[in-house]
Structure 1
């Protein structure tokens, strides 16, 4: 309903209203102007939006991790095969013996057994891990600076105030742990399938057969067999690995008064980081592998502690480091090459280095 306003406001306002009330509107907003409104709908520029998304730092780091992981695994697949066989106790106890055994039994292609699934596993794993590490590190660094400036976060329970001392946390250490957890949760089923293809290629000749047999034997749960010990073993490794590389890189640049590392330095520092992390967490890796492939050998320890005890009982304390040499030969070049490729791809995809 439209009414004219009182005479005192006749030349300034219109009255819009009904039985529930009325609203005064300026004369400039009369209905005839509203009828002439030109409504326009702009179609979003999807192409530009996609380009902006691809150009973000997070996506660049994610893609850099994926490409670095794929290129590294393509080169180092034979070492991964030998390492897995030695860790789980299959075949020869020496690196040369295991190498010859694989070639004799399965031909040269046997050195790349399970490499397809390994590539499918490592691409998302490295992308998720490195992307998560970079994002959590930046976020935690910013948050920690705020805590140091404004004080630690507090919880209020009525009249009681509790201060949570979080400013002491290491952003790099927390980022490393987060990277390991995220990558494991996302890609653990592919790790299970890869180990089956590597250890028993005669029973699991390809990805389709392996998935079918594993699902038939234990359903979806079988694809996550050994998840708990994997997470337990991953935490010290991932935390140490990322922490060591980041701190070594920062300390080296400060000592040498450099803004960035060259490719050779990245390769060496990455190798040292991988060696240190692997040595610290290797007994947990042995126990994890035993749990994951134990069913194939007709014996499966109930938990990680039982697996560790079984190894010590059968092979002594040194059994906890069985396959360490092969693991070192695989981990050191893998870590070094991964970091070298990762930093190189970041330079290409991000166009500039925004942090050390």
Structure 2
């Protein structure tokens, strides 16, 4: 019992883990499996591309510079002229006094000096994208139209031969400035019209609309998304003559003045004057449509909103005569002229900073 036979030892030697618990398993060296290193946990490595240079290049483009110039010019102008905008809106829609000084005193008595800036917060929110889109679109479309006209001249344009008659089509008679001005006004209006509605509600009736949040909630509750675009049709119709004339007059007066004085550019005071004249002309031509637009936009608050622009115009004529179409025109000019002049002055100044200093020719 004390001595085990050689065969018994041999059995235990190869019995392995499934044999006697006291035995040792010996595996031939050639059958041993190589131990693999523990696999590392699954990892995903993302290598983001370096976008620094493309972003810098984009921010230095002419279009971005013009976009930013328009936004900054609009913001600075509205901060200065907010009281005149308040008085102008109140007189157009027939709220309060019928003269400028009386309207000023009325607002101050009821709301204090801060009442002159009623709705200015949303006005600033509105004017920054509006002016950015407007000036950016104007400059882009003007360049595109000018380039298209030059290419058209080089290729002589399409021709139509009808028997002995040859018809040559040309777009040289189209003013790039006029087309660009119309495109600028329409594009900015389509994007920013709800902010215009909101601003007018806050300006005309601050008691019913004490804050931006309350105004948005009430406007949406009254008519849904459609109420945010109240007066859009007359706005677009009125924007065509206004925006077209506004940009056309500025560019033509500027060009004629520089040619007469043999100057390459205007000084800051000259920009102020030329911009004011452009705004005065454009406002005078399109003012009746502006009256109709304001009536439609705020009429819902008074429970007598005209169904369309023609009805709004006829309502004004019936109640106040033809002169009613120009009620508030003096206050409008008082606001539009300095606003236009200051806006153009700031815009040209910012373009000098953002474009000329970056070697973009104007």
TM-score range for the pair, normalised by the shorter chain length: 0.7 to 0.9
Distance 1:61 1:311, change over 3 A: same
Question: Hey, what's the Cα distance between the residues in 2 that align with 1:335 and 1:211?
Answer: 29
CA drift at 1:306: 1.2
| CA RMSD, Structure 1 to Structure 2 (Å) | 1.9
Q: 1:259 aligns with which of 259, 264, 280?
A: 264
Aligned partner of 2:117 in structure 1 is 112
> Are 2:309 and 1:309 aligned?
no
Of 35, 52, 57 in structure 1, the residue corresponding to residue 57 of structure 2 is: 52
Gaps of 5+ in 1: 1-40
Which among 166, 188, 197 is matched to residue 193 of structure 2? Answer: 188
1:188–1:223: 8 Å Cα contact kept in structure 2? Answer: yes
Aligned pair 1:172/2:182, yes or no?
no
Gaps of 5+ in 2: 1-45
Q: Deviations over 1:150-205 (max 9, x none)?
A: 2335799xxxx997543321100000000000100010000000000000000001
Deviation for aligned residue 1:42? 8.8
Tell me how far 1:296 sits from its aligned partner: 1.4
8 Å CA contact 2:291–2:326 kept in 1: the answer is yes
Say which of 134, 151, 154 aligns to 1:149: 154
State whether residues 194 and 229 of structure 2, in contact with CA within 8 Å, keep that contact through their aligned partners in structure 1.
yes
Partner of 1:127: 132
71-80 or 45-54: bigger deviation: 45-54
Q: Is the 1:152–1:167 contact (alpha carbons within 8 Å) kept by the matching residues of 2? A: no
Q: Is the 8 A contact 1:125 1:183 kept in 2?
A: yes
Alignment length (residue pairs): 312
TM-score (norm 1): 0.84
| Candidates 56, 61, 70, aligned match of 2:66 | 61
Note if contact 1:173-1:242 (Cα within 8 Å) is conserved in structure 2: yes
The DSSP-based 3-state class of the residue aligned with 1:181 is helix
Structure label with greater radius of gyration:
2
* 2:245 aligned residue: 240
Instruction: Please report how far the alpha carbon of residue 47 of structure 1 lies from its aligned counterpart in structure 2 after TM superposition.
Output: 1.5
The alpha-carbon deviation at position 140 of structure 1 amounts to 0.3
Q: Which of residues 183, 191, 216 in structure 2 aligns to 1:211?
A: 216
Q: Which runs of 4+ in 1 moved over 6 A?
A: none
Asked if 1:321 corresponds to 2:326, the answer is: yes
Determine the C-alpha separation between the residues in 2 that align with 1:154 and 1:191: 46
Instruction: Check whether the contact 2:133–2:187 (CA below 8 A) recurs between aligned residues.
Output: yes
